[in-house]
Every structure is written in structure tokens, then in C-alpha cells.
Amino acid sequence: MAASAPELKPRRRTGGVLLSVTSLPSRFGVGDLGPAARRWVEQLAAAGQTWWQMLPVGPAGPGDSPYVAYSSFAGSTLLVSPEDLVGDGLLRNEDLAGPEFPDGIADYDGARTLRLGLLRRAWENFRKSPPAALRTGLAEFSQVEAEWLDDWALYAALKDVHGGAAWAGWPDDLRLRRPEALVRTRRDLAAACDEHRFRQFLWFRQWTALRSHAAARGVKLLGDMPIFVAGDSCDVWASPEVFLLDAERRSTVVAGVPPDYFAKDGQFWGNPLYDWEALRRDGYGWWISRARHAARLFDLTRLDHFRGFESAWHIPLGAKTAKEGRWVPGPGAPFLEALRRALGGLPFLAEDLGIITPAVHVLREKFGMPGMRVLQFAFDGDPNNPFLPHNYDPNTAVYTGTHDNDTTAGWWAALSDPARHPVRVYLRTDGKDIVWELIRLAWSSVAEIAIVPLQDVLILDSSARMNTPGLAKLNWRWRVSRSHEVEARLAGLRGLAEIFNRIPAWKA
């Protein structure tokens, strides 16, 4: 009797859409965690999508880049929904009257001015007559989150006092965190610190509600954790021992990358680098706290610049370009093992793009984390190109493009005819519907996760690009417009999810 074929267990295949929270529609200048976010979750669920991937949600610094935040733990209060504050009894509907903001473009400056005024009014109303549930919730939140929240509240209050100046320019006793100065300042700025705690409470309250809304509809949140933190951040000010700083708390080397696809001179990021030896001696405590925090916010977190855990590009302070740096070994397997033990697993997606060595792949594969593949990088004519779908391992997340890429329509429009040839041959296409053909290619691949930016779902050109690496201005501004046919396009995505088994059976 012939032996029966072994039973093959189907792997879980999922799909999702990349969209920054700030890109959601809103009448308050930028998207937020309120009604439009809940509506977006419902649209994803109806389209059979599992993942809402978003950009970092911390308090963005100068330039509004979510990858340069004032804290790795605090949430961006720019994302607090004014409409939901009305629902909490902290504002009235008439308080929400304000200027008309442009459709389809994020107006960060205008949104900050408006929303800061509303948050201040909500705080005053809370102080005068705090709803019992909110009063109890704030007390519990302040106690549970005190490990990072107290430092953040003081840092934010001090930035206000110093007109937004970076902590490196504060008086020495505060810059160096001398104990007597901290005690005095916490006392003097107690009311301001309480207000900043309150703002974070509002953010986390709305975040928790949004995540519950998503979970009830089978939608998971895929977050983004920048490996490095901003020099002007509460992280560096409150935990200087974690970073490579001199006695005056100045960086001795800064982060970046050598020349690559995105920048011929490399990228000079300027972030302080970690003192991994000091972290090792401490059992990686700061990083474990950061990872646990991310795991509470997201179902899966993209580890931006995963390469840095194997080795990081160290640029001497004062270098003219990123070319002057060198690779320095990172913490490697012992660090990831410590994270795995502390978290009971590694709920991370490794961003392994750019100049990646075999050692980086070995490290990622050792811990079973999925890597990333971007179709825009696939068509150089080399059949061994790792971004071509026939070379994928299932433990992969495939993208048409990321927030750092041009939109697929823009990318195609910029390609020369010879550069288009490998794409036409691989897809057997004339390129007239290239965007959806590449989405179809991603969804049909063996990659267990397939993600597409909403701009590609909507077939938008380069004017909808989210970020151009190396360009300091005009980034992070795209928003969903009233004219965009979101639901109709998502219906097409559901069709692909059904064809290629990326829709959970209970959603079908």
C-alpha cells in the first residue's frame, strides 16, 4: 500500500495597510485617535485586512518626523481626539470651533496651536470639576506609569519653561540632573507636571479604547520602534548612562548610515549611540522597559534599522558627512535573548533593509523574526535579487513600498524604459495597471505578511509621498482627502485577500 502524503499545515497568511495616524482625515489639522481612526479600523476589517501598520506615535520633535521624538514612552498629544474629549465631558461642542484646515495635507503648526488650547481647556475643566471615573483613572495611570511618566512630566514642563530649548542648553544643575535641583524643580513645577501627566493619561485612555475597538474587529496594530532616540529627548536627559556621552553629557559619536540607495553621501542622523556594555551590565533594563512598553501598545512592532543590533555606523562628532563613520559591533544575540526572556517572546518585525550583511540575516533568523522585502527594490535584472518573490522565505513581510519610498505610481513614472523592462518581463505586463499588479504580486507571494501603503491602494502619484530620506522639509504631510475613494479601493484589496488566502476564515 502506498504511503499517504504528509499532511501540510497551512501557515497563517495576513495582509494589511500602512497609514500614519497623522494621515487620517480630521477637521483639526492632523489625524488623531478619535472617530476617523475607529472608522479606519472598521474599513480595514470590512476589507478583510489583519494589520494596520502605522508610523511611530511618540511626540515628534523639530521637522515633525515621527522618527525623531522627544520620548520613547510618551504618546504624541497631537493625536488626542478633541471630539472624544467632548464625550468625556472635558470639552463642549462649541469649544471645537476653529479655523478651516486644508484637505489632504497635515498642518502641524496650526494643529499644535489649536489642540494645545483645547488640552489646556480640558485640564482647567478637569481641575474645576473632575469626573469621578477620570479622576480615579488618572490616579491609577500616574501610579502604574510612574517609572517613565514622572521624568517625562518634568522634562516637558522644563521645555515649556525654557521656551522649547533643548535640554543641552538648560542650566547646568538641570542639564546634569543634580539631585537637589531636581527636588526643587519638581516642587516648583508641580502643577505643570500634573498637567503633562494628565495629557498623557488622555492619550493612553484614547489609545486603549482604539486598540480595543480594533481587537473586537480582528484588526491588529503594527507599530514602529526607531532603534535610536533623539539627542533632545527625555530618554537621553533622564537616562544618560544608557548612551555614549562625555562628562558634560555630550555625544561622542552619533548614528547614521553609509552611502546607500537613498543617499549617495550616506545619512547623518545625529542620534546618540548606546553604551551597550553599560546596558549589558544592567541586564539591558532600559531596553527591556522600552520593549515591554511597545508590546503593550502594539500586537507587533517593526524594529527600525535592525542592522544596528548587529553593528551600527558610528560617525565621529564633527564629521562633515556620514561617509566618515565606521561599523561598530552591536549587542547581538545576548541582547535579543534577554528581550525574549523578559517578554516571553519577540513580537517584532525586523527592518532589514539597506546594507545588510550575512551576519544580520543569521541574527534575525536565529530568533525567528520576520524580515522585510520591498518590491520596488526587486527589479535590477538579477534573478537572485532577494526582493524578488521567488526568493522569499515565508517568514517575511512584503511591501510594495515603505514610508521612505516614493509611491509605486511615482516610482514607475520616474523609471526609464530600460529600467521598466525587467518589471514587464517578470510580471508579463504592459505596465498600464502597474500599481495593482505589484499589490497582487505581494499578496500572491509566499510571504506570511503583505503590507501596502494606502497611497498605493489609491494609486496616487509622487505628490502623496510620505518621506524623502535626506530631505529636511515637506515630509510627513500627506493625509487622506475627502476626494479619495478609500472604500472602493479597499474592496479590491479584499478581493485579493480572498484569492490568496489572506483573509481569516471567520471574516469571509
CA angle (43, 45, 49) in 5-degree steps: 105
Active site (annotated) includes residue 232:
no
Q: Which of 299, 324, 393, 404 is catalytic?
A: 404
Angle between helices 285-297 and 146-161 (to 10 degrees): 90
Interatomic CA distance for residues 488 and 490, integer angstroms = 5
State CA 176 to chain mean position distance: 30
Strand, helix or coil for residue 15 = strand
Interatomic CA distance for residues 404 and 468, integer angstroms = 6
Using an 8 Å Cβ cutoff, are 120 and 133 in contact?
Answer: no
Contacts of 310 (CB under 8 A, 6+ apart): 329, 330, 332, 357, 359, 360, 363
Using an 8 Å Cβ cutoff, are 318 and 250 in contact?
Answer: no
Using an 8 Å Cβ cutoff, are 34 and 206 in contact?
Answer: yes
Give kind and range of the element (H or E) at residue 464: none
- Look up residue 243 and give its three cell numbers: 548612551
Q: Which of 304, 310, 352, 406 is catalytic?
A: 304
Interatomic CA distance for residues 296 and 289, integer angstroms = 11
Contacts of 474 (CB under 8 A, 6+ apart): 468
Active site (annotated) includes residue 304:
yes
Q: Which of 351, 406, 448, 456 is catalytic?
A: 351
- Look up residue 143 and give its three cell numbers: 501610579
Contacts of 131 (CB under 8 A, 6+ apart): 88, 89, 90
Active site (annotated) includes residue 351:
yes
Using an 8 Å Cβ cutoff, are 253 and 316 in contact?
Answer: yes
For residue 212, which phi and psi values (nearest 5 degrees)? -65, -40
Which residues are annotated as catalytic?
Answer: 304, 351, 404
